[in-house]
A and B are shown apart, each in its own frame.
Chain A
């Protein structure tokens, strides 16, 4: 169907069609990810039962798992058994935590969500503001400082940034706690409790945000420079619109669109970054969990984490995809 035909169809119907298409695509991708998980387990050296049960089980338990996943059956039957058990929400049982995998993982989600969302918020607000101000003063000292910062943020590994902040602000100045999410020794409640969480959150969240700020700043700056060269900006200025309104009202609205698209991929990067940052600050989220199950060779939890993080990114990509045409009316729905 061509674009001209589409333009006669009401917006909502076109949008619904896009929605259905994207939902189906995302579901297929998630299904394929589970299949990849299955093949990783079977291609890995050694008996697949170790990867389905974890390394600390005994022979009787392994027999149980062998029977559950039908490991004596042909591979296609096994794939079917695996798929249906994962789709039913059964990610297996964690021996090292003595709990179902899903509940091990979900008990850690709030901590990571708090960390990742506050980092994303800081990175987006900080990155966009710096990007606009850098574009406004193109080639000035401030602009070059911003560029240097972006280059540094892109080159420094997040754990190095974390170590620097940890050494300086926590160990040298003693302003922030070095480890954990709450103070274990005190029993706090009410406002004190939340303040305690906040001071523990500060360093890891800033660490995680720095890398993303750099990227968002660079993108905002280059998009702003493109938009500021366009005619409608000249018109707005000629009409006497204040410079602040031109920058933040007229130009930024148009420059922000590409920035929105990278938030989906940002989530994946933030979750990867969380593994390293949480390691540095012993922050009890999904990243820390990853490290613990790596050490314990608790493979069911590791595979579950991999699957859930991939699904989270797929869902985020899907949300970005469908919000993009909603906020940019120029997008045509030809696909």
Chain B
């Protein structure tokens, strides 16, 4: 990982950008000069020394919103990638390893989940069940595990035929031991890369939901800022420009680092973000 970082300037810059965003998310309360949801009389202020990114229609500080929005995006992105990634690994591993009826059942289930576009499925569930932050995390988790499941299944199927699995079998290892000690550790570079690459996609989905108005009212987020700010696009470009820029920069950095991680860990694979949507 480190060697890849050192040899590629783009990747280095992206890694630094990521560190900045994660730092902003963790220390949001210390960095942000104002409460991002607190309204004031100073509406539509252009960016200045007091309001670095200006203020919006209700006099809320856009800079503080961007900082706190990083918290929301990263929280949702990382937890959904982890949770749905684990579900995907579980489904894929069982399907690929157990085979037969299990494989058939789980893969048909995956295909069913793949038909409705993930964004639309998430949108409908969020509209019906409410869109608190926790709900959004759960919704994106239960709609997002399919690509990981397919990836892991294919990998398990190919690893299952390798000679080191043969050897383990010959030594009398139990199926569980073969799966957890031989197959999954060998699939882990692929799984880790895929999880990292999922984070960016999840952040875009979450922002999309907030953008159409399915957000948590108690939590500032970039998607909500864009949802609110788009009505004032003629009054102040800064209201939507900065959250938009932050969103794109974070996702871009995540994709570049994920891609670098992919070529470091899976040297034979093609570019990973091609498959990651």
Contact = CB atoms under 8 A, between A and B. Distances in A.
B200 interface: yes
B189 to A, nearest CB: 20
Contact of B115 (A151, A269, A313): A313
A154 B130 contact: no
Contacts of B117: 268-269, 271-272, 309, 313
B9 interface: no
B234 A40 contact: no
B119 to A, nearest CB: 4
B212 A32 contact: no
Contacts of B245: 160
Chain A: interface size category: 35 or more
Contact of B274 (A166, A222, A276, A317): A222
Given A155-B251, A163-B233, A275-B123, A294 B213 contact: yes
B212 A290 contact: yes
Contact of B129 (A45, A305, A317): A45
B256 interface: yes
Query: SS class of chain B's interface: helix, strand, loop or mixed?
Result: helix
A271 B120 contact: yes
Nearest to A217: B274
Contacts of A236: none
Contacts of A43: 129
Interface stretch (B27-35, B96-104, B155-163, B203-211): B203-211
A310 B116 contact: yes
B255 A29 contact: no
Contacts of A271: 117, 120
Interface string B241-256: 1001101100110111
Contacts of A291: 212-213
Given A294-B214, A310-B116, A163 B240 contact: yes
B181 interface: no
Interface stretch (A13-21, A109-117, A295-303): A295-303
A45 B208 CA distance: 23
Contacts of B116: 33, 268, 306, 309-310, 313
Nearest to A275: B212
A160 B259 CA distance: 23
Interface of A: 29, 32-33, 36, 40-41, 43-45, 51, 151-152, 154-157, 159-160, 163-164, 166-167, 171, 215, 218-219, 222, 268-269, 271-272, 275-276, 279-280, 290-291, 294-295, 299, 302-303, 305-306, 309-310, 313-314, 317
Pick the 4 closest A-B CB pairs, nearest first.
A268-B117, A272-B119, A44-B128, A155-B252
Given A218-B271, A303-B124, 10 more contacts: A33-B116, A155-B252, A160-B248, A269-B117, A271-B117, A272-B118, A275-B208, A276-B212, A279-B211, A291-B212
